[in-house]
C-alpha cells in the first residue's frame, strides 16, 4: 500500500509521452496512483513508464498506444485501465496538437481545422464519455467521506479565454469548446459524484510551443504579455492537475483552473 494524495487510485493520462502528460505521470504516481500512460507515440509513453516505474516502484505504470482522435482506441485504453488496474478514478484528457499550418480565418485549410478538432475536441469528448461510463461502475467509498465517482480533468488553454493577434484559429476554437463542453458535462454528472474541471495552461516550455516559437523574435512577441516574464514549466501544470485529481478539490466542478503566470488577468505588464 502506498502513501499519498492519490493513494489506491487509478489514473489514465493522455499525451503521457511528453510535456504536461510526462510530468503528471510522475507526480500522480509519486502520490500513490497506478497510471495508464496513453500516447499516439508508444515509444514516448514507454519512456515515461520506465521513468515512473524506476522512480516509484510501489505503484505500476503501463504504457499503451492510442490516438485519442479515434473513438475505438480511447475506449480500448479505458478498458485496459479497468482490466489491468480494476477501475478508473482519474481521467486526464491532456493530449492535444497545435498544427504549424493552423492560421487565421482566410488561410487555415479545412483539413487542418478538422484534424485539430478531431484530436483536441472530439478526443476530449470521447475521453470523457468512456471515463464517465467507467466511473459509474465505481462503488461509493464511504472511507473517503465523499460521494466519489471520479475526477476528469481536461486540458484547455489560456487562448480559450483571451484572443491572440498571432492566430491559430482551429486550436483556439477547439480549446474554447473544451472549456464549454467540460462545464456542461460537470453539470450533467454532478450528482453522480463525477467531477469535471479544466486546467488552462499559459505558454509553456514544452515541445508543443517551443517547436513553434523557434526564433527569439517569436518568443519575445509573447513574453512581453506575460506578467511573470517567463514561460511556464510543464510540472507547474501537473501540480494543478494533481490538485484537481485529488480529494483536495472535492467541492470543485465545472471550474477552469488557470495556471498562466497572470496572463489572462493582464492589461499592462511590468517591464
Q: Which residues are catalytic?
A: 171
Q: What is the nearest approach in angstroms of ligand NAD to the Cβ of residue 264?
A: 11
Q: What are the distances in angstroms from CA 158 to CA 22, 137, 195?
A: 20, 34, 21
Helix axes 19-30, 234-245, angle to 10 degrees: 50
Q: How far is the CB of 199 from ligand NAD (least distance, A)?
A: 8
Q: Which has the closest alpha carbon to 175: 109, 121, 135?
A: 121
What is the nearest approach in angstroms of ligand NAD to the Cβ of residue 207? 4
Render the burial of 222-251: b for 16+ CB within 10 Å, e for the rest.
bbebbbeeebbebebbbebbbbbbbbebee
Indicate the residue among 19 and 261 with the shorter CB distance to ligand NAD: 19
Q: CB nearer to ligand NAD: give 192 or 243.
A: 243
Nearer to ligand NAD, 119 or 242 (CB): 119
Q: How far is the CB of 155 from ligand NAD (least distance, A)?
A: 4
Q: Considering beta carbons, is residue 59 or 68 the nearer one to ligand NAD?
A: 68
Q: Which residue is nearest to ligand NAD (CB)?
A: 19
* Residues of this chain that bind ligand NAD (CB under 6 A): 14-15, 17-21, 39-41, 44, 67-69, 94-97, 119, 155, 157, 201, 203-204, 206-209, 234
How many CA atoms lie less than 13 Å away from 77 in the CB half-sphere? 38
The answer to whether 204 and 232 are in contact (CB under 8 A) is: yes
Amino acid at each position: 500500500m502506498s502513501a499519498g494524495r492519490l493513494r489506491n487510485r487509478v489514473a489514465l493520462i493522455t499525451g503521457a509521452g511528453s510535456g504536461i502528460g510526462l510530468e503528471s505521470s510522475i507526480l500522480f504516481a509519486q502520490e500513490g496512483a497506478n497510471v495508464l500512460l496513453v500516447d499516439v507515440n508508444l515509444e514516448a509513453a514507454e519512456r515515461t513508464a520506465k521513468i515512473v516505474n524506476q522512480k516509484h516502484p510501489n505503484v505500476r505504470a503501463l504504457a499503451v498506444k492510442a490516438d485519442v482522435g479515434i473513438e475505438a482506441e480511447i475506449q480500448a485504453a479505458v478498458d485496459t485501465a479497468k482490466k489491468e488496474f480494476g477501475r478508473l478514478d482519474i481521467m486526464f484528457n491532456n493530449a492535444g496538437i497545435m498544427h504549424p499550418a493552423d492560421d487565421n480565418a482566410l488561410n487555415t485549410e479545412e483539413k487542418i481545422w478538422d484534424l485539430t478538432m478531431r484530436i483536441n475536441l472530439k478526443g476530449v469528448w470521447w475521453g470523457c464519455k468512456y471515463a464517465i461510463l467507467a466511473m459509474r461502475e465505481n462503488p461509493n467509498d464511504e472511507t473517503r467521506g465523499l460521494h466519489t465517482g471520479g475526477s476528469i480533468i481536461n486540458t484547455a488553454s489560456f487562448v480559450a479565454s483571451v484572443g491572440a493577434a498571432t492566430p491559430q484559429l482551429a486550436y483556439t476554437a477547439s480549446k474554447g469548446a473544451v472549456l464549454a463542453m467540460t462545464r456542461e458535462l460537470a453539470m450533467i454528472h454532478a450528482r453522480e459524484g463525477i467531477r469535471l474541471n479544466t486546467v488552462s495552461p499559459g505558454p509553456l516550455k514544452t515541445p508543443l510551443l517551443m517547436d513553434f516559437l523557434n526564433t527569439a523574435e517569436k518568443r519575445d512577441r509573447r513574453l512581453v504579455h506575460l506578467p511573470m516574464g517567463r514561460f511556464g514549466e510543464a510540472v507547474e501544470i501537473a501540480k494543478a492537475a494533481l490538485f484537481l485529481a485529488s480529494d483536495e478539490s472535492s467541492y470543485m466542478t465545472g471550474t477552469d483552473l488557470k495556471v498562466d503566470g497572470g496572463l489572462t488577468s493582464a492589461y499592462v505588464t511590468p517591464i
